[in-house]
A and B are shown apart, each in its own frame.
Chain A
Amino acid sequence: MMRNSIKILPGALVCEECKLRGDITIGSGTIIHPGATIIAEAGPIIIGDNCLIEEQVKIMHKLPFDHKEKEKTTPVLIIGSYNVFEVDCTVESPKIGNNNVFESKCFVGNKVTVSNGCTIGAGCKITEEQILKENIVFYGAKCMMREGLDRPVLQTLQMETLTKMLPNYHHIKKPNMKL
């Protein structure tokens, strides 16, 4: 049985209706929309600063079947800073770096380690065991791969608007941690 233990750092914007299960730490500046689901099944999840987690996003921390027995220590899913999870994406990755964009309706399997500055295009499904290099872009129906020149642009403007708008229409969870 999982125990819910949600730690929200000051500055984070977590809507009351979102589904959070297990041991989850949310960094300051992170925005979580009401329809998002974050499930820490295999171990705790730590979300960094200034991440944007949009509606219908599913972030699951579960290990591949063959990994389950081997490891004795509980693995921790660390999600870096400035990541954007767009509407209805499913991410089961065991490790996520900084500045990544998961576009709408993409799927990242639990064997894919995401480094920094990667973009998973809309609808792309990535399941094969691999470690994504920095600034990799997946796009199109065939999941074409290319190496980007630099990291995707930050969504600062969008985040600023959301921090103003969301509290007007939603109940917000109060931060329960101190910096």
Chain B
Amino acid sequence: MSYIIGPNVVRYSCTCGLLKPISFLYFCRYCTQLRCSFCVCHEVDSNFCGKCSENIPSSEARVKKNRCGNCYMCPSCEQELSPRIASTKAPAEGEEKVSTKKMYYLFCQFCRWSSRDVGIPDQSSVTGGWPDRENIHANRLQELLDLYKAIVLAQKQQQEKDKKQRGKYISYTDRTGVTAAALRKRIGLPADLTHPLLKSRPKEPEPMIAQTEVEKLPDDIFTKPINLMDITTIEQRLLQPESQPTTVDKLFPVHKQLSIKRTLRCKTCEHNVSKPEYNPSSVKFKIQLFAYYHIPEIRIVTVEPLRAGRPCELILKFTNPTQHQTTISFFELNLDEQEDIVENKLTEVVENVEQLSLQEKQPMSLTSQPSSSLTLSSRSPSIIIKPRKIMEYMNCNIEIPESTFVLPPRDDAAEYDDSGETHNIHDDPKLVKWRKSNKAFIKLNITPDESLPLNAEVVCGFIMQHVYTNTITGQLEKKEPQKYDHKVKVFLTLGQTVGSE
């Protein structure tokens, strides 16, 4: 797939102003807006281990420091380690019969590291009992951790106390000039009272002392040839931050880090745009509102050699991914105009948040009934995403065709239909070159700017308007799917200009 969508030549503009290929975009059906990974809310759904496919509750994951208890990573190459059987022949005591005993050791299939390399004894069970090494600084870390926890607690209590005290007593000490200490003396209490909460503070650990004298380097440090195979790489050291081994004989297996499944939520309407299935071994989704399934996909088929100031022909392929027929029309994209819109919208945001959410939807609805837009905005938006200016230049003019064309719905069975297709679609022959099932090949005339130098990257853009059929059920008294005109700004990177013939 990446070889088709990988080269970033056709980019769609997200509502937030970022340009991304269609495969990186989401489409919120409730706001009928494009969303990219920067304008959705990322939530951790579940933690799981990628090797043993086991779900681990988030509380347990926190205790285990986001690592799997049973699976290990190779300390040498960060791949997964797998247990291997080594049968050892151990003569049972008192008997002549030689019994084979199954022992297990960890082995990396990739770099052939094994737990025997560093002298970890073989284990008798598959899953475990692999010794975890003690961190030499564990005590010190625990001491510090306890201290800071206690400080946090003390501060919280202090804050609560302050809240309670405020307004309860009116202090006259500042007016009469009698200090708190003097007052205490008068009523017969010891003058300086340490704070009761400060007393409960645990004893502070001994501070570390910086050493002025450092151990001398061994004499042969510059003369002894080093064996690079004995020394660990930076990556290997950072994989074990608590010990940071410098030589390979101190590399010990590392617990595998857990992976997460994410739910993506539209920040504006709080609906999910992507929700994976809970089961870790499943790669399917419960909700997947990817733009790829809702917005017509555009691919560049051919482009004539681009010459500055000369018109040339561009053929694009449009594919309708939805089950509904759509009509596509083109509009000119003017980036300067868009700047004004952005500014206008921003002022509106300040003026009235509620109003804006209505206004945003109104120009989109084809049947611009006020009721439909009201139902859509029944959920009040939590965050208004500020539209941003699209940071892209265009140096190529597109002749915007006046006529529109129709894309039939996607039909999976059509791929296997050999009979000649009969379309009752009347196309503008100047615009539509050829069509097949839900795809159409469109010819556009483009002219790169006159002033472009040789080998300059040519970028052109237009607004594609397509009819989006919203099929959300459960809308108030709305049985029929609603149709919207949805506009998407599309940018095409066409290649470099070449010299004249």
Tell me the residues in window 450-464 of chain B with beta carbons closer than 8 Å to chain A beta carbons.
none
CA distance A149 to B248 in the complex (A): 12
A119 an interface residue at 8 Å Cβ cutoff? Answer: yes
Does A147 lie within 8 Å of B112, measured CB to CB?
no
| One of A8-16, A38-46, A61-69, A136-144 at the interface | A136-144
CB A168 to nearest CB in B, in angstroms, measures 29
Give residues of chain A (135-158) contacting chain B, Cβ–Cβ below 8 Å: 136-137, 139-140, 144-149, 152
A34 within 8 A of B: no
**A139-B77, A140-B77 given as contacts; is B248 within 8 A of A146 (CB)?**
yes
Known: A139-B77, A140-B77. A146 touches B114 (CB 8 A): no
CB <8 Å contact, A144 and B233: yes
The answer to whether B114 and A149 have CB atoms under 8 Å apart is yes
Measured CB to CB, the residues of A under 8 A from B are 119, 121, 136-137, 139-140, 144-149, 152
Whether the Cβ atoms of A137 and B228 lie closer than 8 Å is no
A137 B116 Cβ-Cβ under 8 A: no
- B434 interface residue (CB < 8 Å to A): no
A145-B112 in contact given A139-B77, A140-B77 (Cβ < 8 Å): no
Interface string of B99-114 (1 = CB under 8 A from A): 0000000000011111
Closest B residue to A140 using CB positions: B77
A154 to chain B, nearest CB (A): 14
B229 interface hit (Cβ, 8 Å): yes
The smallest C-beta distance from B357 to any residue of chain A, in angstroms, reads 50
CB of B114 within 8 A of CB of A121, answer: no
A140 adjacent to B114 (CB under 8 Å):
no
Interface string of B49-79 (1 = CB under 8 A from A): 0000000000000000000000000001100
The 10 closest A-B pairs by CB, nearest first: A139-B111, A149-B117, A137-B112, A147-B229, A148-B112, A145-B229, A146-B229, A139-B110, A149-B116, A119-B112
Residues of B within 8 A of A139 (CB): 77, 110-112
Q: Measured between C-beta atoms, what is the minimum distance from B75 to chain A in Å?
A: 11
Bound form: Cα–Cα A140–B79 in Å: 10
How distant is A141 from chain B, measured CB to nearest CB, in Å? Answer: 11
Closest-CB distance, A150 to chain B (whole angstroms): 8
A147 / chain B contacts, CB cutoff of 8 Å: 229
The chain B residue sitting closest to A122, CB to CB, is B110
Task: List 12 additional A-B contacts (Cβ < 8 Å) besides A121-B110, A146-B111.
Answer: A119-B112, A137-B112, A139-B112, A140-B77, A144-B111, A146-B76, A146-B229, A148-B112, A149-B114, A149-B116, A149-B117, A152-B112
Complex-state Cα separation, A37 to B114, whole angstroms: 34
A136 to B233 Cα, complex, angstroms: 17
How many Å lie between the Cα of A119 and that of B109 in the bound state? 11
Residues in A neighbouring B110, C-beta threshold 8 A:
121, 139-140
Within 8 Å CB of A152, what residues of B?
112
Distance between Cα atoms of A149 and B76 in the complex (Å): 14
Contact pattern, B 111-150, Cβ under 8 Å of A = 1, otherwise 0: 1111011000000000000000000000000000000000
B229 touches A121 (CB 8 A): no
A-B contact pairs, 5 of them (CB 8 A): A140-B77, A144-B111, A145-B229, A146-B76, A146-B229
Closest A residue by C-beta to B78: A140
CB of A104, distance to nearest CB on chain B (Å): 12
Contact A140 B111 (CB under 8 A): yes
Question: For B112, B117, B228, which residue has the most chain A Cβ atoms within 10 angstroms?
Answer: B112
When the two chains form their complex, are residues A137 and B117 in contact, meaning their CB atoms are under 8 A apart? no
Bound together, the chains give a CA A136 to CA B230 distance in angstroms of: 12
- Separation of A152 and B248 alpha carbons in the complex (Å): 19
**Given the known A-B contacts A119-B112, A139-B112, are A145 and B228 also in contact in the complex, defined by CB atoms under 8 Å?**
yes
- Contact assessment for A121 and B111 in the assembled complex, using a CB-CB cutoff below 8 Å: yes
In the bound complex, what is the Cα–Cα distance between A119 and B228 (angstroms)?
Answer: 18
Contact residues in A for B117 (Cβ distance below 8 Å): 148-149
Q: Nearest CB to that of B251 among chain A residues?
A: A146
The CA-CA distance from A146 to B229 in the complex, in Å, is: 5
A152 vs B111: C-alpha distance in the bound complex, in angstroms?
A: 11
A144 touches B228 (CB 8 A): no
Within the assembled complex, what's the spacing in Å between the Cα atoms of A40 and B229? 34
Report the nearest A residue to B118, measured CB to CB: A149
Q: How far is the CB of B469 from chain A (nearest CB, A)?
A: 47
Task: Report the minimum CB–CB distance from B108 to chain A (whole Å).
Answer: 9
Q: A146 vs B111: C-alpha distance in the bound complex, in angstroms?
A: 8
**Minimum Cβ distance to chain A for residue B109 (Å):** 10
Alpha-carbon separation in the docked complex, A148 to B76 (Å): 12
**Minimum CB–CB distance for B333 against chain A, Å:** 42
Q: How far is the CB of B237 from chain A (nearest CB, A)?
A: 14
A173 CA / B205 CA spacing, docked (Å): 79
Residues of B within 8 A of A145 (CB): 228-229
Question: In the complex, are the beta carbons of B233 and A146 less than 8 A apart?
Answer: no
Nearest to B84 among chain A residues (CB) is A153
B114:A144 contact, CB within 8 angstroms: no
Q: Which residues in A have their C-beta under 8 angstroms from that of B113?
A: 146
Q: A138 to B76: give the CA distance in the assembly, Å.
A: 12
- Tell me which residues across on chain B come within 8 A of A136, comparing CB atoms: 229
Task: Report the Cα distance A165→B457, complex, angstroms.
Answer: 57
Which B226-266 residues sit within 8 Å CB-CB of chain A? 228-229, 233, 248
**Complex alpha-carbon distance, A145 and B227, angstroms:** 11
B228 to A, closest residue via Cβ: A145
**Please, which residue of chain B has its CB at the minimum distance from the CB of A135?**
B112
Q: Which residue of A lies closest to B233 (CB)?
A: A144
CB neighbours (8 Å) of B229 from chain A are 136, 145-147
One digit per residue, 1 when the CB lies within 8 angstroms of any chain A CB and 0 when it does not, for chain B 350-364 equals 000000000000000
